[in-house]
Structure 1
């Protein structure tokens, strides 16, 4: 009988599907291939031995894979716990920062309130001073205006007196002018009668 054909690629894929890493699957495949090359024909006992060895190797590899998975799970759990602890620590730090910021903001508000109160107080005092000064200036202006108004009224009174005196003088002059007119008229009439009456009477 000729040599039994051995499919290396199929054997490697079978081992990988069983859970072996690719490197280990290739190594096992290489050993099996060499064993086929050494022996012209494998007996049933030899095949059973190979199967037992392969089964043992596969079982060991599976155990190693399980251990690796276990280590990976433990590593992930550890990392997860560490990350959770970091998150909790970060949350605590954020809470502390917020607390500090809240306290600082409260202090700033308090300081601003005090400064605003001082500014209002100063402005109120300044406004009161300005009102006081304006009141004094207004009082002075009123006083000056009152004095000026009194002077104007006095001047008006004097003008009224002068007007009254002028009117009286005008009335007297008018009376004198009327009398003068009468005297002139009487003189003219006397002259006319002096020349005309003798002629009328035939004299």
Structure 2
């Protein structure tokens, strides 16, 4: 909204007020409007700063919660991986034992067979 000082002065003059007084009134009204506008702008800016600060605070809190959730999930995932690793180690150890027993059996069987062949071949 703009203030038309000339129109204001002319309106006052048409009611019989002296031009100098009308100009002084116009100046006072304009100054008053400028101060009111400056106060309004300052108040609006302060409200914006508060709102931004509030949003920033809420965002920071949300990020902290999200970070905590991620930390919890990563910890749970690490624990699952550790349990799987232990189970795999146990299975590998079990398979290793089975292979050693199987190879031992083959070795003993081979020696028995070799011994039997040697007994037949020797007079």
| TM category, shorter | 0.7 to 0.9
Report the Cα distance in structure 1 between the residues aligned to 2:48 and 2:61, rounded to whole angstroms. Answer: 19
Structure 2 residues not aligned, in runs of 5+ = none
CA RMSD in angstroms comes to: 1.8
Q: Name which of 98, 118, 122 aligns with 2:98.
A: 122
- Output the TM-score relative to the length of structure 2: 0.87
Q: Which one has a bigger Cα radius of gyration?
A: 1
- 3-state SS of the aligned residue for 1:122? helix
Distance, in Å, in 2 between the alignment partners of 1:33 and 1:130 is: 117
**1:36 offset after TM fit, Å?**
5.6
Cα distance in 2, alignment partners of residues 112 and 51 from structure 1: 89
- Runs of 4+ aligned residues of structure 1 deviating over 4 Å after TM superposition are 36-40
Match of 2:31 in 1: 55
TM-score for the superposition, normalised by structure 1:
0.54
Point out which structure has higher relative CO (alpha carbons under 8 A, 6+ apart): 1
Question: Unaligned regions of 5+ residues in structure 1, if any?
Answer: 1-23, 151-203
> What's 2:71 paired with?
95
The count of residues paired between Structure 1 and Structure 2 equals 119
* Deviation per residue, 1:107-136 (Å, 9 max, x gap): 111111111111111111111111111011
Q: Identify the match of residue 43 of structure 2 among 67, 74, 91.
A: 67
